[in-house]
Structure 1
Amino acid sequence: MCESGEEMVYPRPQLERDGTWQLLDGAWDFANGQADVASPKEVRFDQQICVPFAPETDMSGVDVPARFMTCWYRRNVRWPREPGMRTHLHFEAVDQCGAVWVNGFYAGKVGGPVRSTLDISEFMSASEQEIIVRVDDDPSDMTKSRGKQDWREEAHIIWYPRTTGLWQSVWLENVPEIRIDSLRFEPKVTAWDIGVDVRICGTGERRASWDGWLEIKLKHEGEILADDRYQVCSGLMQRRIGLDDPGVIDERSELMWSPENPHLIDVELRLVNGDGDVIDHVKSYTAMRDVGAVDGRLMLNGMPYFSRMVLAQGYWEESGLTAPSDEALKNDVELAKALGFNGVRLHEKIESERYLYWADRLGLMVWGEMGSSYAFEPSDFAELQTMWGRRVERDMNHPCVVAWVPVNESWGFPALLDEEHQVHAMRSLYYQTKAIDPTRLVLSNDGWEMSDTDVIGVHDYEGDVERLRKRYNLATRGWLEILKQEQPGNRKLLLNDEVYAGQPVVLSEFGGVRLCDEQENGWGYSEAADLGGFAKAYMSLLRFANRKNVFSGFCYTQLTDTYQETNGLLKMDRTSKLPIEMVRQMTVGEHVSLPGGFGEAVRREGVFDLQ
């Protein structure tokens, strides 16, 4: 049921440790319901499930249609105790709230779309370990972070089937008692150096009396950039490592990260004890990359940079929110680039770190979002803040991430115009993000009803390009007047006039054209009758959005069809509706002559892939 020939890939690419680890993806015993059992021992496991796929999906192997609110998982794994080591059990994503037992002992809570880690060392037997997980998820609770998961029984409009339980990888890892626990990089292009924060943790009082050294080596394409050694004098080592500065922008660019040239710097760290023994060894990477906003323009590495982004929702027909493979994540990055985009909005989803790894390696900018809730409840807001903070901390070392978007279209904050406490809550997410990560841009509320924000993100699904030209005509009005007077979607763009202070303006959602003959009950923001009309509509919209004298960038909706929302450039199986090269030319604003009978010619040739 649950076989895979795919090579195992390390789930945490920003802190890859030498040593023993095991991916627990694959067949687990499974049970649905039984919410009232007094003990996990009483659960009747009557099915099997293929982790990490949610039971609502085909790839899970669960073929009994059901409403999943309480799910139970069980797996026995051979994992012997190793002297001098601790055993960590990692859950990459759980929807929503989980509890874990190891060999009958309660080990702790897990949950949310960001990695949860439990130290299970004290509960382990000599060789084989029994792991039981309970996950509870109330699909009707609108105060929880859920993203695009529908609260109705049937998916409708722009909401999709639900995801319950374990939906990303589960894995075991042995770690030294005294170890490198976390890393933080802060490159500064202007100073041509890299800040490195290394948190070292241990067990009990041993850390306080431990004497050793931290070795840090930076390399680019095999060339050593730095090779430093520091005595460990506290649990947090903070250093800035200067690089040899060529002083010439052309030579500097050979080391800087951009979508066109995604140069990465490999980082190797060793923790060495007083006898010279290496007790921990981890690998990571960073990049010389700087983002900002100056004079109404987005900046990358100190230069104006026009962002051509596409909305990516990260769903697959057979596997839902979970990518069917690591190769599928890589393929999504490659497709976005092949279609002419230099960035994506990972929309309403905290995507696997493996996606960000490929975006780092292949060169694709990312706006990182949170899966929204849809109702505001003060008593639940602290939980939302905690989850968002964990997300920012997890992904802030990825050079591909250039902006954070904690709120989309006021979702979860439905009364911003009337309830001041909701405004305070939304603003607090902006300042929380800036406090954790001051190096990136933050949008307080992408789409409309913006408060404190580094970028003005406007959502406008008007399909008539002439109306768009009149609406955003800077020859007749300035941006403040436009933002005050226009209400695309009948929503106020700014909460107050003071919000706009010359920030870059990005058309951060537009398009959404549906090809009518594709799916009878499909949905889109506007429609094209045939492939010829679809191509013309896309070309017209993209020539408008590429006006650099108006916008600092754009984000087209969307990369792929997503269930009934059939307004993607690609179908849900990732085949293209139009020739890839034609879409790329249109994406960058070029005019493409469409020959007579274009639609029929495309239809005869069939679908298009990267080749």
Structure 2
Amino acid sequence: MTAQALQTTTAALPRPEYPRPDWQRHDWLNLNGTWAFQLQTENNESGSTQLADRFDSEITVPFSWASPLSGIGRSETGIGWYKREVSWSPETSGSLVFLRFGAVDYNCDVWINGVHVGSHSGGYGTFEFDVTSVWKSGEGNIIVVKAEDFDLKSQTRGKQGYGEIRGIWQPVWLEARPQSYIQAAKFITKLDGSIQVNATVAANKAGDAKLQFAFAEGAVSHAELVTLEQGVNNISVSFQVADPQLWSPESPYLYEGEITLASGEGTDNIATYFGIREISTALYGDRKYRWITLNGKPAYLNGTLDQAFHETGYFTYPTDEAMRDEIYLAKRIGLNFIRIHIKPEEPRKLYWADKLGMMVMEDMPCFWGNPDETARPAYEREAKEIIDRDFNHPSIFSWVMFNETWGLRTDAETIALTSQDGGKAEATYLPETQEWVRSMYRWAKSVDPTRIVEENSPCNWDKVESDINTWHFYINGYEEVRAHVTEVVENTYPGSSFNCIGGNVQTDAPLMNSECGNVWGFTNGAGDSDLAWHYRYMLNEFRRHDKMCGFVFTELRDVTNEFNGYYRLDGREKFFGYEAFVPGMSLADLHAPDFIVIDAPPCQTVQAGATVSIPLLASSFSDRYHGQQLQLSWELWHDNLGTRVTNERGVVALDWNGFGVTPIAAPLTFGLPKQDAVAVLALTLRAADGTVVTRNFIAFDVRSGGDAPVYDADGQFIAVPVTDFVEHSFAHQWNAIQEGKTNGGKAGQFVYEISLPDAAAQALVGHVELAFEASAKRLLARNLEGARDQDHTISMMHGADAAVEYNSNTYYMTDNEFHESLINVLVDGEKVASFLLPDNPADSRGVLSYQYQEVQNKLDEAGSYGYLCKVTLPSSITAKLDRSRGFKLTLEAGEGGLALYGRNAGRYPIDILVNVK
């Protein structure tokens, strides 16, 4: 069978595409698919291949034996033995044959036809073996792979835990090459179009060869004659690109093409690409601190932590489309970079980041034991493999060498053995380890001066030396976040010891947040709750500071025990609800490079009719509109019992000039409604052609302050608190949000006694309207059995169960999964209306459920809200009420349950309202 025919048969295999689009040869065979398999859970194997007759199962490569897609689904550590028979011949006789592995965790040995062809150690680096001497072209060849993974503390394990990458977990393939071939080529690009290529050529014989570069359909072409020595040759080539097209997230231009080596040993053709871009840091104006720059201009980095975890393949994506979609999901909400967390990413996903335009901060995998003489060399070896493999991806702008001091503390037992004072030892980030970390930073800068390097992305104020000054925080509550971010900014300046350890001090390196969010920001953290409200005010606080040039939000998708994603683990969307405040607003508005900061709380309680002034700031990290006049449209509106009412509106002309954060000269001043309301200040910034640049908003809890609520409607309002029911029949009932909300589930009734004005106060009851806010009520395990909160230690980094349904902070954010309930409204036992409540939602629309949280770090059904239900009673009933001057109101729910929101909860500032006319 020809190679082409064999390749066609791989179409039905998992991950059939070539694994390295950044370095692709055409003559290859995909070895993904079914292999014989044996899992040995004890390390008592001598290293032989005597398991040949004891393979007891089959595994699907390239999936970890722990993952569902592997067909094994066993998480144990151990030794995985793989076996496959392959018949394949290169297209050109005399070609070299290489067996290539994307990645194998952790120690790997390979035999071909019983002959040991090589070993590799490390869980993330790519590697290959020249198997030409033992390969039988046109005959059956037996490949046996031994993959050993015992989770040793010295392993570069990274952040697995959610699911393990045991054994082969990236594609495996055979590849043919001529006797002399190009081993590698690193592209170093400049904005003026000058390109330097540092190539490595393996030559079978000494002699002359032609090295040729052809890109952009021939528009870029260069060739050089080179003289090769037998063995490995390092060659540097330079050429110029005319009218260079720069790579950026907005315009991800790639120069795609081919490198060719033509020699007496044949022709080696490699399809590859490069992008022209420069990432750096720079001082602007009279500032004493740097900003991050892309292609010579300041860039505000809107990023997210990407755990790169898939529910079925774990850290191996099931398809190429899934990798593309991952980049797309980040791109569609306005993000411009992702931080791949504690691991390098698969090359094909990096390709999609290159292709679609997504910058990447790529972490090195950590070890979890002591930084000793075993762990350090293993780490150094793997870091070199990672940087070598991924050097040419224009999307990668930063290497992060360590995270949160993981693996950098020497444990107490080891310190105690060497301690002379007899005191109680603690795990410590030792000075000698700090110096090793500094050396790793400097080494990375020496091998790749084209990128930003961070030595440690910290949460312990323990930086040593870095190109960027970052920190982590997980704090909830507007005042708390504001105070914290302000403190960090004010303590960031050259010479400051803040955020440093061991006598080190800050330079003028850019300030950036490298992890933030609210998944760990609560007592007993890691619930599954709405993040929309927190996210908006946090980004406002970031953009308020001229020093800050980016953030990393935790995280792109939920994972198995963290529920802080923009999306669910399976990619389902979460709904943030911003469009309800400003038409058309979405997450992308908060990620706009040109932004209007509202320097005020996300909501404040104010007196009806009061006049307020709100300061605004302009934040610009793009020169797209510099020199232009932008139009800031503003509107103060409120909802009056289901009718949107505009109180005031206006337009402010802004001369948009210069990078950074500057105050807008005059604050917005306006009067608030003269009634109970949730009022909204909605802002829209537009360019001269009408293009929307960004949107933003804040809210006001407006209170009339009298004994009775005030609304703009005829009649007399009677307000009955939702918790003042006289009876209920729910199996599970409780109140929430400081008695502002009541819940019942599953089926049942809330019954209220309603008293109407007597004849002296109102002679005739001619018209009665009811209004209330209600939602379905989804019962969680904690609602049925009680909360079971737990301290979330470092074990959560290794996949410990979050017991989310028992977590007291859990209240599911609005997403694609709906929970509906049918309710009936009865007056004195007679049904007057029915409502199908579509869901039990929670997002930023639940303004009052946030405003009346008792404490900021312990959520009580925060963000929850309902639907406005209005009923006009029929005349046959109002005639009776004119005589009785009271009635029994029953709200009856089916199996979907019922939640009722009072004046201080939900979306609408109402109790159960009875409007009598």
Q: Could you state the TM-score of these two structures normalised by the residue count of structure 2?
A: 0.58
Contact 1:56 1:163 in 2 (8 A): yes
Contact 1:292 1:300 in 2 (8 A): yes
The equivalent position to 1:90 in structure 2, one of 84, 96, 100, is 100
The one-letter code sitting in structure 2 at the alignment partner of 1:45 is F
The residue aligned with 1:271 is 261
- Give deviations 1:361-391, integer Å, cap 9, x for gaps: 0000000111211122223311210110110
Instruction: Supply the distance in 1 between the matched residues of 2:158 and 2:85 (Cα, whole angstroms).
Output: 33
- Give deviations 1:322-378, integer Å, cap 9, x for gaps: 111111111100001112110000001111000110000000000011121112222
Structure 1 runs of 4+ with >6 Å offset: 593-602
Q: Which has the higher contact order (CA 8 A, sep 6+)?
A: 1
The equivalent position to 1:445 in structure 2, one of 444, 456, 481, is 456
**Alignment of structure 1 residues 189-588 onto 2, 5 Å:** 189=191, 191-203=192-204, 206=205, 208=206, 210-219=207-216, 222=217, 224-233=219-228, 235-245=233-243, 255-273=245-263, 279-295=267-283, 296-375=290-369, 376-415=371-410, 419-447=430-458, 448-473=461-486, 477-480=490-493, 484=497, 493-496=499-502, 498-513=504-519, 524=525, 531=530, 534-547=531-544, 549-578=546-575, 582-588=586-592
Deviation at 1:84, TM superposition (A): 1.9
- Would the alpha carbon gap of residues 354 and 499 (structure 1) be closer, same or farther in structure 2, given more than 3 Å must change? farther
Unaligned runs of 5+ in 2: 1-9, 284-289, 411-426, 578-584, 596-694, 701-772, 776-812, 819-837, 842-917
Contact 1:182 1:198 in 2 (8 A): yes
Deviation at 1:483, TM superposition (A): 6.4
Q: SS where residue 146 of structure 1 aligns?
A: coil
Deviation at 1:418, TM superposition (A): 5.1
Contact 1:506 1:553 in 2 (8 A): yes
The one-letter code sitting in structure 1 at the alignment partner of 2:588 is R
**Alignment of structure 1 residues 111-130 onto 2, 5 Å:** 111-112=121-122, 113-126=124-137, 127-130=139-142
Contact 2:556 2:565 in 1 (8 A): yes
The one-letter code sitting in structure 2 at the alignment partner of 1:460 is F
- Would the alpha carbon gap of residues 35 and 130 (structure 1) be closer, same or farther in structure 2, given more than 3 Å must change? farther
Q: SS where residue 11 of structure 1 aligns?
A: coil
Instruction: Supply the distance in 2 between the matched residues of 1:597 and 1:195 (Cα, whole angstroms).
Output: 65
Instruction: Supply the distance in 2 between the matched residues of 1:124 and 1:12 (Cα, whole angstroms).
Output: 23
The equivalent position to 1:142 in structure 2, one of 153, 156, 174, is 153
The equivalent position to 2:44 in structure 1, one of 36, 57, 63, is 36
Deviation at 1:471, TM superposition (A): 2.9
Contact 1:16 1:284 in 2 (8 A): yes
Instruction: Supply the distance in 2 between the matched residues of 1:100 and 1:557 (Cα, whole angstroms).
Output: 39
- Would the alpha carbon gap of residues 273 and 135 (structure 1) be closer, same or farther in structure 2, given more than 3 Å must change? closer
Contact 2:519 2:562 in 1 (8 A): no
**Alignment of structure 1 residues 73-84 onto 2, 5 Å:** 73-80=82-89, 83-84=93-94
Contact 1:3 1:26 in 2 (8 A): no
Greater Cα offset, 539-548 or 363-372: 539-548
Instruction: Supply the distance in 1 between the matched residues of 2:488 and 2:307 (Cα, whole angstroms).
Output: 36
Aligned length: 561
- Would the alpha carbon gap of residues 549 and 6 (structure 1) be closer, same or farther in structure 2, given more than 3 Å must change? same
Deviation at 1:585, TM superposition (A): 2.5
Deviation at 1:228, TM superposition (A): 3.0
- Would the alpha carbon gap of residues 503 and 178 (structure 1) be closer, same or farther in structure 2, given more than 3 Å must change? same
- Would the alpha carbon gap of residues 86 and 481 (structure 1) be closer, same or farther in structure 2, given more than 3 Å must change? closer
Q: SS where residue 371 of structure 1 aligns?
A: coil
The one-letter code sitting in structure 2 at the alignment partner of 1:433 is A
Q: SS where residue 439 of structure 1 aligns?
A: coil
Contact 2:109 2:147 in 1 (8 A): yes
Instruction: Supply the distance in 1 between the matched residues of 2:445 and 2:101 (Cα, whole angstroms).
Output: 27
Structure number, greater radius of gyration: 2
- Would the alpha carbon gap of residues 418 and 289 (structure 1) be closer, same or farther in structure 2, given more than 3 Å must change? closer
Q: SS where residue 591 of structure 1 aligns?
A: strand
Instruction: Supply the distance in 1 between the matched residues of 2:571 and 2:144 (Cα, whole angstroms).
Output: 36
Q: SS where residue 490 of structure 2 aligns?
A: coil
Instruction: Supply the distance in 2 between the matched residues of 1:56 and 1:441 (Cα, whole angstroms).
Output: 35
Higher strand share: 2
Deviation at 1:230, TM superposition (A): 2.9
Contact 1:538 1:586 in 2 (8 A): no
- Would the alpha carbon gap of residues 475 and 425 (structure 1) be closer, same or farther in structure 2, given more than 3 Å must change? closer
- Would the alpha carbon gap of residues 592 and 131 (structure 1) be closer, same or farther in structure 2, given more than 3 Å must change? farther
Higher helix share: 1
Instruction: Supply the distance in 2 between the matched residues of 1:179 and 1:383 (Cα, whole angstroms).
Output: 29
RMSD: 3.0
The one-letter code sitting in structure 2 at the alignment partner of 1:197 is N
Percent of matched pairs sharing the same residue: 28
Contact 1:10 1:16 in 2 (8 A): yes
Contact 1:514 1:528 in 2 (8 A): no
The residue aligned with 2:17 is 9
The residue aligned with 2:28 is 21
- Give deviations 1:437-488, integer Å, cap 9, x for gaps: 0111100101241111000111011112322322333799351499645xxx
